């Protein structure tokens, strides 16, 4: 244990960590091993056994002791567990002389030939040392549709260097089976040179290719057409459509999907006569076979729609495209466009389409934005019964978010007497709808609102709801992946599970003093880690973040992904990692000074910046609470602060909390929800939206709620700015979570406080 302690001390001093940080992180590094069965070793070396050679090699490399590092890495490459042996083999490609690195690259390419990331590492080393034949050899099985572009680029560059005639055909194939990338374009001039067109480095590619049209081969014409679509030169590409079609007809060859898609884009964005071009696509459909017809029908539909007076043709062509879609992605894309078209037509048409196709939706989350737009349209135009019909009658494959949304709002519409449910008591139907909103995987916002409507007080039941999985948009998950197959019971931690290879690697990084490597490694292996390993990594980085705030953000991203990709009830500590209280002393101090609930301010900071004090938005908002420069200047004047650094954590929290308190003081009835919306969308806009809501509600002849006419939770659904609408919901749900986790607040209490329902009702 003393050896481990000294290693830690050296590493943390190296990155300017204080001794306090070292001790706290050391404690949390041991959490990795709490889940190791029968792990009773006293030192890091004993715990990691042969894996320790890798971490010792890293330490030697940091000291620039290459001979020692090489010796340790070779030992680990030979004796360590598979993943750590692989990392050791990768490390050796960076050490020693040319011969040493080449030997390491050859070993890596042979031993890990099924891992294309390792082939890239080896290929770089081979290419750098002019071993082009070796690059070609290790890339003979590349998949031009799926393999990493960098790996294919290494192969093609090597073919050029070897004057290998395969380059021309392989480059052409690579280009036409996938969207163009930087790697494709980097080789384009070399391809042209090898096919007879020489360009000066400073020559304008478009000008030269336009001048060379009459001399281009068919393949060159196809690639130039493809390049123009990539560059959005639709006006240049559109006149070439007939010629490109003619090339394939002359060869009696099927057109690749990418080129058919290009033809559609060139025509849609390049034509000045949508109706005539749509009819040409109708004729093209007759010449194509099977799923190839999809592109002709799909773009014909979009052009009939753009022409403006051909609703029947638009609907029919979208329907024809749906019937020949080759996969779920095509089907969903086409159905989305059909439904979006019908948003401008008839609610009845939308409901009929959803009844026919809604159950066939493959990726429910792909349609969340459509159902969001539909929701705003129906509620704003007071088509409350149609809203209920979409939820209850279409049998659509809704995402978790849309399920919770449509269930909760339908329950509220029934409860308020704005929509009629089915047979039976109105109260029973509303309760059933709110209960559905509490389902696993639905939005936390609609869950906490449903808890309030159902007046649930049972702490264990509330706990089961609050510790269930949310949705990606709320958690700000950084990646998608398969669900973690390691459900836990309540707060239980599996004390006997063996660490996975990736978990052992993260644990070693923690114990040997390499916190800077954990997040990158987690990104690579997150799908193979158990939930507990994700928790441990997030917990460790959270402790390190006390003295280096960049680790706070990494901890939060690991925790949010782990929560999103776990199943069943989650450990409370995971929720605490997903909703942490970083900068606790500052938040407490200024919330007390300015009278803002701490859980509201934590929700705001988390949503605005993900606790990154250096965050800066594209619009220029800065720091933890994302203040604009003009707002910060106004706050500074009111607080009589002459000089300040808005990226300083304490200053930013002080200014942001003051600004939030000021918005609350200016809002009608000091309403917190209106203040939240004002923070994001501007208080002037909020006042305008409220006036409009009152005016629209007055036409119904129904009793009005005090602030907005319609109840504030339903008003929030009509806010015209999607960002502000979602921002309000996110702050409510996150405030409720913080209130429940740390302040002994029933979520219902927080919901009522933010909506001001204790005042209204």
Is the pLDDT at 39 greater than 50, yes or no?
no
Q: What is the pLDDT of residue 589?
A: 98
- Give the integer Cα–Cα distance in Å for 627 and 660: 11
In this prediction, residues 666-693 reach a mean pLDDT of: 96
DSSP category for residue 415 = H
Helices (runs of H) and strands (runs of E) counted in the chain? 45, 0
pLDDT in tens, 411-456: 999 999 999 988 778 899 999 999 999 998 899 999 999 999 999 9
pLDDT band at 44 (very low <50, low <70, confident <90, very high): confident
pLDDT in tens, 591-623: 999 999 999 999 999 999 999 999 999 999 999
Is the pLDDT at 351 greater than 50, yes or no?
yes
Is the pLDDT at 41 greater than 60, yes or no?
no
Q: What is the pLDDT of residue 754?
A: 98
> Which is more confidently placed, 692 or 209?
692
Is the pLDDT at 12 greater than 70, yes or no?
no
First vs last Cα of the chain: how many Å apart? 62
In this prediction, residues 673-696 reach a mean pLDDT of: 96
- Give the integer Cα–Cα distance in Å for 689 and 697: 12
Tokens in use for 746?
């029933």
Q: What is the pLDDT of residue 204?
A: 77
Q: What is the pLDDT of residue 38?
A: 39
Lowest mean pLDDT among 199-203, 237-241, 497-501, 681-685: 199-203
Cα–Cα–Cα angle for 442, 445, 448, rounded to 5 degrees: 95
DSSP category for residue 39 = -
**CB 581 within 8 Å of CB 602:** yes
Is the pLDDT at 473 greater than 90, yes or no?
no
Q: What is the pLDDT of residue 45?
A: 76
Contact partners, residue 440, CB within 8 Å, separation at least 6: 400, 468, 469
pTM, to two decimals: 0.88
Tokens in use for 390?
């979409």
> Which is more confidently placed, 34 or 87?
87
pLDDT in tens, 622-656: 999 999 999 999 999 999 999 999 999 999 999 99
> Which is more confidently placed, 515 or 21?
515
Phi, psi of 170 (to 5 degrees): -70, -40
Average pLDDT, the chain: 90
CA 139 centroid distance within chain: 31
Q: Where are the alpha helices (DSSP H) in 139-292?
A: 149-161, 166-176, 182-186, 188-194, 205-211, 218-230, 234-237, 241-251, 257-270, 274-287
Q: What is the pLDDT of residue 479?
A: 32
Q: What is the pLDDT of residue 19?
A: 40
Q: What is the pLDDT of residue 330?
A: 97
The topology (CATH level 3) of 584-760 is Lysozyme (1.10.530)
Is the pLDDT at 34 greater than 50, yes or no?
no
Tokens in use for 691?
């006036």
Concatenated DSSP letters of 429-440: HHHHHHHHHTST
Q: What is the pLDDT of residue 42?
A: 57
Q: What is the pLDDT of residue 57?
A: 96
Contact partners, residue 163, CB within 8 Å, separation at least 6: none
Residues pairing with 627 in the sheet: 622
Tokens in use for 86?
């692989």
DSSP category for residue 580 = -
- Give the integer Cα–Cα distance in Å for 87 and 84: 5
Element (H, E) at 336: helix 328-343
> Which is more confidently placed, 485 or 606?
606
Residue 533 CA: distances (Å) to CA of 84, 511, 528, 538: 16, 14, 10, 9
Residue owning tokens 């050490």: 95
pLDDT in tens, 62-82: 999 999 999 999 999 999 999
Is the pLDDT at 35 greater than 90, yes or no?
no
Is the pLDDT at 481 greater than 90, yes or no?
no
pLDDT band at 5 (very low <50, low <70, confident <90, very high): very low
pLDDT in tens, 101-147: 999 999 999 999 999 999 999 999 999 999 999 999 999 999 999 99
Is the pLDDT at 27 greater than 50, yes or no?
no
Q: What is the pLDDT of residue 206?
A: 74
In this prediction, residues 3-16 reach a mean pLDDT of: 38
Looking from the CA of 213 toward its CB, the CA atoms found within 13 Å total: 11
- Give the integer Cα–Cα distance in Å for 345 and 350: 9
Q: Is 556 exposed, middle or buried (0-12, 13-18, 19+ CB in 10 A)?
A: buried
Residue owning tokens 């093609």: 156
**CATH 1.10.530.10 residue window(s) in the chain:** 584-760
Q: Which of 397, 408, 414, 413 is nearest to 443 (CA)?
A: 408
pLDDT in tens, 255-278: 999 999 999 999 999 999 999 999
Q: Which of 679, 660, 671, 690 is nearest to 596 (CA)?
A: 660
pLDDT band at 32 (very low <50, low <70, confident <90, very high): low
Q: What is the pLDDT of residue 482?
A: 37
Percent of the chain whose pLDDT exceeds 70: 90
Q: Is 392 exposed, middle or buried (0-12, 13-18, 19+ CB in 10 A)?
A: middle
Instruction: Give the three-state DSSP class for 705.
Output: strand
pLDDT band at 390 (very low <50, low <70, confident <90, very high): very high
**CB 737 within 8 Å of CB 463:** no
- Give the integer Cα–Cα distance in Å for 371 and 361: 13
pLDDT band at 474 (very low <50, low <70, confident <90, very high): low
pLDDT in tens, 541-576: 999 998 899 999 999 999 999 998 887 778 999 999
Q: What is the pLDDT of residue 476?
A: 57
Is the pLDDT at 491 greater than 80, yes or no?
no
**CB 523 within 8 Å of CB 479:** yes
pLDDT in tens, 233-246: 999 999 999 999 99
**CB 298 within 8 Å of CB 282:** no
pLDDT in tens, 404-413: 999 999 999 9
């Amino acid at each position: 244990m003393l050896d481990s302690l000294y290693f830690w001390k050296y590493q943390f001093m190296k990155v300017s960590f204080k001794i306090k940080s070292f001790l706290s992180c050391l404690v949390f590094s041991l959490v990795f091993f709490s889940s190791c069965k029968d792990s009773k070793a006293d030192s890091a070396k004993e715990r990691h056994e042969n894996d320790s050679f890798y971490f010792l090699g890293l330490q030697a490399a940091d000291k620039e002791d290459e001979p020692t590092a090489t010796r340790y890495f070779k030992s680990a490459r030979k004796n360590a567990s598979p993943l750590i042996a692989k990392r050791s083999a990768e490390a050796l490609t960076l050490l020693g002389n040319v011969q040493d690195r080449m030997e390491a690259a050859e070993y890596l390419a042979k031993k890990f030939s099924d891992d294309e990331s390792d082939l890239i590492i080896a290929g770089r080393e081979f290419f750098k040392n002019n071993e082009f034949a070796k690059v070609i050899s290790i890339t003979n099985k590349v998949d031009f549709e799926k393999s990493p572009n960098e790996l294919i680029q290494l192969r093609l560059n090597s073919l050029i260097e070897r004057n290998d005639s395969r380059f021309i055909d392989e480059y052409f194939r690579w280009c036409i089976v996938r969207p163009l990338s930087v790697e494709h374009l980097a080789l384009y001039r070399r391809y042209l040179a090898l096919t007879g067109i020489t360009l000066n480095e400073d020559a304008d590619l478009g000008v030269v290719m336009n001048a060379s049209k009459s001399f281009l081969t068919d393949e060159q014409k196809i690639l130039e057409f493809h390049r123009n679509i990539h560059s959005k030169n639709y006006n240049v590409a559109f006149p070439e459509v007939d010629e490109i079609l003619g090339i394939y007809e002359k060869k009696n060859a099927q057109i690749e999907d990418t080129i058919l898609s290009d033809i559609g884009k060139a025509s849609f964005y390049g034509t000045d006569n949508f109706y005539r071009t749509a009819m040409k696509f109708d004729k093209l459909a007759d010449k194509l076979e099977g799923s190839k017809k999809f592109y002709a029908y799909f773009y014909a539909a979009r052009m009939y729609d753009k022409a403006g007076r051909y609703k029947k043709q638009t609907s029919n062509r979208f329907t024809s495209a749906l019937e020949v879609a080759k996969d779920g992605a095509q089907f969903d894309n086409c159905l989305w466009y059909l439904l979006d078209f019908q948003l401008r037509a008839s609610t009845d048409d939308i409901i009929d389409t959803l009844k026919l196709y809604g159950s066939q939706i493959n990726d429910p989350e792909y349609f969340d934005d459509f159902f969001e737009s539909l929701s705003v349209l129906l509620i704003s135009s007071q088509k409350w019964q149609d809203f209920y019909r979409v939820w209850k009658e279409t049998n659509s494959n809704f995402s978790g978010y849309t399920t919770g949304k449509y269930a909760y709002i339908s329950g509220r519409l029934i409860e308020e007497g704005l929509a009629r449910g089915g047979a039976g008591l109105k109260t029973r139907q509303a309760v059933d709808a709110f209960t559905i909103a509490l389902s696993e995987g639905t939005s936390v916002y609609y869950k906490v609102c449903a808890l309030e409507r159902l007046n649930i007080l049972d702490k264990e039941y509330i706990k089961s709801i609050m510790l269930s999985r949310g949705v990606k948009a709320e958690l700000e998950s950084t990646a998608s992946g398969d669900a973690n197959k390691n459900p836990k019971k309540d707060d239980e931690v599996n004390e006997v599970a063996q660490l996975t290879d990736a978990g052992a690697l993260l644990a070693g990084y923690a114990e040997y003093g390499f916190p800077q490597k954990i997040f990158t490694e987690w990104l690579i292996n997150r799908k193979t880690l158990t939930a507990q390993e994700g928790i441990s990594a997030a917990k460790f980085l959270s402790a390190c973040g006390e003295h280096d705030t960049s680790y706070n953000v990494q901890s939060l991203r690991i925790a949010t992904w782990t929560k999103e990709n776990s199943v069943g009830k989650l450990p409370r500590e995971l929720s605490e990692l997903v909703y942490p209280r970083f900068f606790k002393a500052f938040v407490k101090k200024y919330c007390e000074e300015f009278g803002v609930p701490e859980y509201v301010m934590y929700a705001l900071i988390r949503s605005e910046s993900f606790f990154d004090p250096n965050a800066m938005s594209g619009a220029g908002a800065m720091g933890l609470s994302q203040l604009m420069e003009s707002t910060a200047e106004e706050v500074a004047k009111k607080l009589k602060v002459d000089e300040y650094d808005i990226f300083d954590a304490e200053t930013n929290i002080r200014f942001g909390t003051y600004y939030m308190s000021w918005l609350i003081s200016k809002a009608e009835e000091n309403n917190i929800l209106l203040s939240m919306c004002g923070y994001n969308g501007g208080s002037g806009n909020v006042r305008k939206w409220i006036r409009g809501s009152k005016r629209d509600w007055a036409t119904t002849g129904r009793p009005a709620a005090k602030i907005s006419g319609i109840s504030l939770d339903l008003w929030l659904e009509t806010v015209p700015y999607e960002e502000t609408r979602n921002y309000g919901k996110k702050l409510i749900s996150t405030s409720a979570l913080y209130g429940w986790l740390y302040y002994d607040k029933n979520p219902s209490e927080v919901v009522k406080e933010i909506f001001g329902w204790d005042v209204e009702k």
